[in-house]
Structure 1
Amino acid sequence: MSHLREEIKNTPSRVYAHTLGQTAQEMANYQDEPVQMQSGAVGKSGYLKLRFAKGEQRSELVEMERRVPSLVQKALYWDEEMPQLPCVTMISTSGCLLQGDRQALDIIVEKDACAHVTTQSATKIHMMNANYAAQVQDISVAENGYLELIPDPIIPHRDARFITDTLIKLHPSATVIYTEILQSGRKHHHQDELFGFDIFSSRIRAQYQTEVGDELHEKELFVEKYVLAPQQDDLRAIGVMESFDVFGNAILLTPQQYHEAILSRLEAKYDVENQIAYGATQLPNKSGIIFKALGVDSPKTKVAIRYFWQIAREEILGISLQKPFLWK
């Protein structure tokens, strides 16, 4: 058991979670240590590893490692439209992200395997008066693999500081659907909660990985980064959030043969009555499609993300989505 703990401690993604905010320019003003407990201490350095492989009749979660406060439920097969798909729910035993927290996630989908990964509920980033919270996600999908990473919204509380870095590595034949929904805060809780967080920094990178003999070949596909600092910049400005409160971002990485059919079914919309706007465009290097949505609340934004997700699944797999759960 001690050997396993040491391996988890030295996992590259977990090490990076501890150094990410130290080297990011936008986090330079938030390096002070909390007085309650040192950043990244035991109980504040979560780690979760999920590895999926193809079984005889369905894909399976064949390996799981975790370190508190990260936890995960067993794989379930509740998707009636895709019964071979293991569905895994990630959980945090701490309830929310606190100042000084460092979280790392590794997801590995092996050749011909598939997986759906989500969260138990929204990720809440608590109020802070020192330091910040950091998250690193390292995602690998092998040849003909298929992954849906569809977490619930992120809710930064006022004075929250958060930085996240996501790296998606996939074979050119693989498919990854990655989504994130960012709320502006607990806008019905307190007047200072709406865009009351200090900073939210997110970077998403993707690269193709192929093996030729004993050599690993990598090709960078794109990098998207946005830094939101509402105390310094007006997020209500035209061309940013304007009158909207929720931002939805969905990235689809899939072979080029599916792009035209998906884009032809997607429409750009600005619905004043229902207060929702969305649209899609192709990613660099013909690697996939990016879809963005703006809404006044998370349910409307979730519907928009689901609209994109359903079209993508139908065109790539020939399978639709089952009806959403009432509580999701």
Structure 2
Amino acid sequence: MMNLKHCTPSDIPQEFLQYDGDIAQMGVGKSGKIGFLELELQNDSDKQKTIITKKQTQVPLYVQKALHYDLDYPSMAHVFILSPSGGILQGDRYRMDVELRNNAISHITTQGATRIYKMESNYATHMVTLNLKDNSYLEFIPEQIIPYKNSRFYQKTNLQIDDSSTVVYSETIVPGRIAMGEMFDFDLCYLKTEGKINDRVQFRDSSLLSPKMQKIQSLAMFDDKTILTSVYILTKKHVTKVNDMINELFSHTQNISGGSSILPNDSGISIRILGNSSEDQKITIYEILKIIRKEILPEYL
């Protein structure tokens, strides 16, 4: 299962195909170039908490045991995705499959930012599938993506739930290593997200950033902001109320611009946040999580 084909998206965008060449160093598919993580979490009624019931990993992706340190939500499993590599290199192919079942409640994040290193040839890809069943709840909130100069990165995310479950997913793109003088110097950063409820597509959303071809800091795109965060809430619970509360939050925030809208068929909420500080973006994400935990999470406790 953990071979190159399994960990490579079947729909590599046209924009990347021009870079689909051989690598002089360690080629695509070699040991260490394929990262794989398969994770299943379920509620353990005897222990009264969510635990990891299945784990399969291939370095450079792995996880440690689930932690239960939140006194407000003692049953919630906190899971940190780790990588010893320090970043994603040319030719890397990563895949994460996470499934929650049986009233599982979890918060998953990464140990640090996802750094996309400079590329002389080829590109890197990352596939993420989050599958929730049986009244489960997941917050998947990774740290920011930092595309270095001349990097090329394609991430494809699939959110799949049944109508009893809720998933909250975020992604943040910064313009590069600002301290090193990089500002939108990467070649391509393409993030594609799809959400399904009961196997029916509710939305598809794509963010294609090609700074050498686009005027990123034009009024139509980022204006005077440099950092983009997208948050997707896929749920059938309290959608209108949560959406109103998030927009109310944005009306009082400083230093960032943001907006929230309801997804088709009242299937959830889509949120965009623009700012100039990754810390401000992160604070805003967790302010949104506070709203979700107040209005939606109690349904799962």
Are 1:294 and 2:283 matched, yes or no? no
Provide Cα deviations, 1:68-90, integer angstroms capped at 9, x if missing partner.
11111211012221110111100
1:97 and 1:126 in contact (8 A); partners too: yes
Counterpart CA distance in 1 for 2:137 and 2:272 is 21
Counterpart CA distance in 1 for 2:239 and 2:122 is 42
Residues 171-186 of structure 1 aligned to structure 2 (within 5 Å): 171-186=162-177
Q: Percent identity?
A: 30
1:270 and 1:277 in contact (8 A); partners too: no
Letter paired with 1:51? E
Q: How many angstroms does 1:207 deviate by? A: 1.1
- Which residue of structure 1 lines up, in the alignment, with residue 85 of structure 2? 94
* SS of structure 1 residue aligned to 2:2: helix
1:90 and 1:118 in contact (8 A); partners too: yes
Gaps of 5+ in 2: none
- Which residue of structure 2 lines up, in the alignment, with residue 325 of structure 1? none
- Which residue of structure 1 lines up, in the alignment, with residue 240 of structure 2? 260
Q: How many angstroms does 1:224 deviate by? A: 0.5
Which of 235, 258, 261 pairs up with 2:216?
235
Letter paired with 2:101? E
TM-score scaled by length of structure 2: 0.94
Provide Cα deviations, 1:229-256, integer angstroms capped at 9, x if missing partner.
000011011121111111111100111x
Counterpart CA distance in 2 for 1:187 and 1:198 is 16
1:20 and 1:134 in contact (8 A); partners too: no
* SS of structure 1 residue aligned to 2:7: helix
2:9 and 2:156 in contact (8 A); partners too: no
* SS of structure 2 residue aligned to 1:267: helix
Counterpart CA distance in 1 for 2:117 and 2:20 is 17
Letter paired with 1:70? L
Q: 1:271 to 1:27 in 2, by over 3 A?
A: farther
The 10-residue stretch of structure 1 (257-266 or 295-304) with the greater mean CA deviation from structure 2: 257-266
Counterpart CA distance in 1 for 2:150 and 2:51 is 40
- Which residue of structure 2 lines up, in the alignment, with residue 74 of structure 1? 65
Counterpart CA distance in 2 for 1:260 and 1:271 is 19
Which of 204, 219, 226 pairs up with 1:223?
204
Q: 1:271 to 1:25 in 2, by over 3 A?
A: farther
* SS of structure 2 residue aligned to 1:8: coil
Counterpart CA distance in 1 for 2:9 and 2:98 is 20
2:8 and 2:127 in contact (8 A); partners too: no
- Which residue of structure 2 lines up, in the alignment, with residue 49 of structure 1? 38
Q: 1:318 to 1:145 in 2, by over 3 A?
A: closer
Residues 140-151 of structure 1 aligned to structure 2 (within 5 Å): 140-151=131-142
Which of 11, 15, 20 pairs up with 2:5?
15
- Which residue of structure 2 lines up, in the alignment, with residue 29 of structure 1? 18
* SS of structure 2 residue aligned to 1:305: helix
Provide Cα deviations, 1:87-135, integer angstroms capped at 9, x if missing partner.
1100111110000000000000012111111000011000111100100
Letter paired with 2:43? K
Provide Cα deviations, 1:178-222, integer angstroms capped at 9, x if missing partner.
0111111111112xx10010000111011122xxxxxxxx21111
Letter paired with 2:213? Q
- Which residue of structure 2 lines up, in the alignment, with residue 166 of structure 1? 157
Q: How many angstroms does 1:19 deviate by? A: 4.4
* SS of structure 1 residue aligned to 2:178: coil
- Which residue of structure 2 lines up, in the alignment, with residue 323 of structure 1? none
Q: How many angstroms does 1:271 deviate by? A: 7.8
1:251 and 1:288 in contact (8 A); partners too: yes
Measured on the aligned residues, the alpha-carbon RMSD in Å equals: 1.7
Are 1:104 and 2:95 matched, yes or no? yes
TM-score scaled by length of structure 1: 0.86
* SS of structure 2 residue aligned to 1:18: coil
Which of 182, 188, 192 pairs up with 1:203?
192
Q: How many angstroms does 1:29 deviate by? A: 1.5
Q: 1:20 to 1:128 in 2, by over 3 A?
A: farther
1:16 and 1:136 in contact (8 A); partners too: no
Counterpart CA distance in 2 for 1:167 and 1:184 is 24
